[in-house]
Structure 1
Amino acid sequence: MRMTDTFLKPMHPEGYRFVAIFAAITLVLFWLWEPLGWIGVILTIWCYYFFRDPERVTPTRPNLVISPADGIISMIEPAVPPEDLGMGPEPLTRISVFMSVFNCHVNRAPVSGEVTAISYRPGTFVNASLDKASEDNERNSLAIRLADGRQVAVVQIAGLVARRILCFVKVGAPLAAGERFGLIRFGSRLDTYLPPGVVPLVSVGQTTVAGETVLADLSAPVAPATPRAG
């Protein structure tokens, strides 16, 4: 690997116009007052890194659930998938990955399968690390059907400063684990809903890498259902 590859990463095409805008503003700031111009340079570099889209090496072993986002696991808890995906009313294990404005924001498919449902819902823009963000914030939800018929849901959730969710796939599209499927601007969260009984292999506070970090193993023994009180 060349030394420049450590610092210079490919940029997603969605970022070209934003970097151009930041660069143009920087020129104006230099014209107004040189110290302001250098602040503009720093912000332009940050914008470039926000839209970086590095190559990732996805594990090739089948039946793994891979992190859809770079960030920190903020929550692991039972939750009902978004109703509009048609995955039923029973709670599933939800793994939430919070992305700060310094993380790469290109989202990748957690599993290989067919996209069976996509549902966009407008909403508010509270801090994406809060639990209520799953219900209140702008979101875009995907259901992915595995070869064995089970389903995994992945939900893009806008954050405090995010103002647009992008999804690059349509219903019926095949996805490979680790494949790019969307992007969120700027700061947000990704929720992954595991099939019933699948146990997470990660912990709250753990750092994840999109397309590489293993969240769960679908081929592992399924955890027994917890009996209901009654």
Structure 2
Amino acid sequence: MTIHKEGYTSLAIALVFGAVLYAAARFGLPDYPVVHTVALSIAILVFLIVLQFFRSPTKNIVRNANHVLAPADGKVVVIEEIFEPEHLKTNCIQVSIFMSPINVHSNLNPVAGVVSYFKYHPGKYLVAWHPKASTENERTTVAVRMDNGVEVLFRQIAGALAKRIVWYVKEGQTVEQGAEFGFIKFGSRVDIYLPLGTKIDVKIGDKTTGGESVIAHFN
């Protein structure tokens, strides 16, 4: 188990917060050892919460050009046919994965190919499962054109707690299936838009593991 690079600053802040909290209790109320214990417990708890959020476990990725891998750890909350208006401009099958604060928040490429489209959208911070989150929240949109010409579009969507989306891809870049393309801090969601006729291998409520779970495959 390693710690994701996006967590270094947050961990440092948590450590400073804990040190200040304990010092304030220890020296501000020297005659109340119970308060010291409570302050120390809170400091350790906060640090451990931040630490587990930014964990970066090793993935057992099996690459397959016919498979669509889950881009994130989480739970499938949407499977529906929908019109994608930003780039594909056609009806697609949307699969949405919700990431709670206890999930690993690293985002991985569901397919391999060349990034054919990328755009960052500033926006609101509605709860990630809100119907308008896909179009109104802070988000990024990435489309990857596979070797067979099929385009798969996926979107990082910030949630009510997530106020920073990080991405590591750009248009024209060749990406590997299962490689990291971004990170979202705290609760959030990833939407994937697949061509009609794609066989969906998950159902609503299923738990996914980013880079390992096969959520769909091409006929």
Q: TM-score, normalised by structure 2?
A: 0.92
For structure 2, the residue ranges without an aligned partner over 5 or more in a row are 26-35
Is structure 2 residue 9 aligned with structure 1 residue 17?
Answer: yes
Q: Would you tell me which structure has more strand in proportion to its own residues?
A: 2
Preserved CA contact (<8 Å) 2:63 2:178: no
1:185 alignment partner in structure 2: 185
Which residue is 1:40 aligned to?
43
Matches within 5 A, 1:1-230: 9-33=1-25, 34=36, 35-83=38-86, 86-88=87-89, 90-218=90-218, 220=219
Larger Rg: 2
| Deviation of the 1:58 alpha carbon | 1.4
Contact 1:19 1:44 in 2 (8 A): yes
**CA shift digits 1:116-157 (9 cap, x unpaired):** 110111111011012211111111000000101010001000
Q: Structure 1: which amino acid aligns with 2:6?
A: E
Moved more, 34-43 or 111-120: 34-43
- Answer whether contact 1:114 1:146 (CA < 8 A) is retained: yes
Q: Aligned-pair distance for 1:82?
A: 4.7
Deviations 1:161-184 (A, max 9, x none): 110110011111111111001001
Contact 1:28 1:37 in 2 (8 A): no
Say which SS state the counterpart of residue 17 (structure 2) adopts: helix
The answer on whether the counterparts of 2:123 and 2:139 sit within 8 Å (CA) in structure 1 is yes
Structure 1 residues 105-114 or 167-176, which shifts more? 167-176
Q: Give the aligned residue type for 1:25.
A: F
TM-score (norm 1): 0.88
CA distance in 1, matches of 2:156, 2:70: 13
Residue segments in structure 1 that go unaligned for 5+ positions in a row: 1-8, 221-230
What secondary structure sits across from 2:84 in the alignment?
A: coil
Letter in 2 for 1:93: I
Identity of aligned residues (%): 38
Aligned residues: 208
Distance 2:130 2:188 in 1: 11
RMSD: 1.1
Alignment partner of 2:142: what SS? strand
